[in-house]
Amino acid sequence: MTALTRLRLTNFRSHANLDLKLDSRPVCLWGANGAGKTNVLEAISQLGPGRGLRAASLPDMTRHDADTGWTVSATLDDDQKIGVGLDSSGHGHKRSIRLDGAPATASDLADLIRIVWLTPAMDSVFRGGASERRRFFDRQVMAHIPSHGSVASRYEKAMRERNALLERGRVDPAWADAIEGRMAEAGALMASNRARILMTLQAAINARPDGFFPKGDLSLDGTAEQAAIDGASLFDIQDQIAEDLAKGRYRDQAAGRTLSGPHRSDLIVIHRPTGAPAGEASTGQQKALLIGLILASARALSEDGDGPSPLILLDEAAAHLDRDRRSALFDELIEIGGQAWLTGTEEFLFEAFGDRAQRVEIKADADAATA
């Protein structure tokens, strides 16, 4: 099991100097609105790949009156020490990563830390557009396959180059072929990663206990992803993406952007108890379905013998559940085994944990102490 036994924040958001000493049990952060509970979860999310829980820029996470950049340091339950921070020593801003005091890379962290999270901002994922669901699903893929983020970045960079070429009005075929080749290579990997994790998540959903958090049936609306699910080779998917891009040049030129490819795919979720699309479910059903998806993702990570168990970040998840559902959520988190971090405005929200969890009161402009 992977757990944080110490967490230190310096000049991160509202926290000038926060130092938490912990054990491996779930951590319940409670306190008034605006005290900085979500900021603690965001800090933890910086230990994983990507831009973190709020997708903020590095400078934006610096405390407003700080003279230096922010740092997030953590000690794992095996006494390894990791740290990330804002490095502004050169030109621009970059992320600094250290492992046991030595410089390290994001891939080094990925071998030690895997993170899934749920925030109130994600409640609209089923009601929003395809881009919201795509971001949500790609976040789950990155938790399982950390390299997915860099693959997606390569695809998006090549697509921006293609779009710029289309906007010029005259497309050089050789130049377009080269750019589309890079898009197809990265796009095939993206589609393959998504297809693999879709099947992993569906298996984990099916294995979850029936109860308060309903199961969903997942699919991907995307030509490349469907080909991967059907067993097509990576090279065949790559060739198909490249062919589609070449055929669509004149159409895309008229539109001024790329209209086909993995960047247009959509996650489809069916609320299994009713058979209705998740977007047509009630607000309560959507929330319960979303919690179930995150629990399934965490369960799959915990049962994966090739990596560490996950850190599970749940921001204000307990506040909108009744007592029985809170109890069911806590029981399942204990069963999954990854260290969970939960936030809430009142300590009583976590009473169903009993002594299975530790409680920390977060106060604005003050250090926190373990209760």
Q: Domains (ranges, CATH) in the chain?
A: 1-114+307-371 (3.40.50.300)
Q: Are strands 81-87 and 94-99 parallel, antiparallel or unpaired?
A: antiparallel
Average pLDDT of the residues in 84-105:
87
Does an H or E element contain 294, and which?
A: helix 283-303
What is the rounded distance in angstroms from the CA atom of residue 8 to the CA atom of residue 71?
8
| Cβ–Cβ under 8 Å, residues 266 and 274 | no
Q: For the chain, give the mean pLDDT.
A: 93
In degrees, rounded to 5, the angle at the alpha carbon of residue 176 between the alpha carbons of residues 171 and 181 is 170
- pLDDT above 90 covers a percentage of the chain that reads 83
pLDDT band (50, 70, 90) for residue 370: very low
CA 20 from centre of chain: 24
pLDDT band (50, 70, 90) for residue 68: confident
Q: Which of 28, 53, 88 is nearest to 362 (CA)?
A: 28
Tokens representing residue 95 in the block: 């992320």
Residue type, 9: L
Residue 160, pLDDT > 70, answer yes
- Token pair 């984990």 is found at 204
What is the rounded distance in angstroms from the CA atom of residue 252 to the CA atom of residue 300?
39
Q: What is the pLDDT of residues 270-316, one digit of tens each?
A: 999 999 999 999 999 999 999 999 999 999 999 987 778 899 999 99
| Cβ–Cβ under 8 Å, residues 20 and 360 | yes
What is the rounded distance in angstroms from the CA atom of residue 189 to the CA atom of residue 302?
24
- Three-class secondary structure of residue 46 per DSSP: coil
Residue 367's pLDDT is what?
A: 58
What is the rounded distance in angstroms from the CA atom of residue 58 to the CA atom of residue 95?
7
| Cβ–Cβ under 8 Å, residues 277 and 218 | no
| Cβ–Cβ under 8 Å, residues 18 and 368 | yes
Residue 371's pLDDT is what?
A: 47
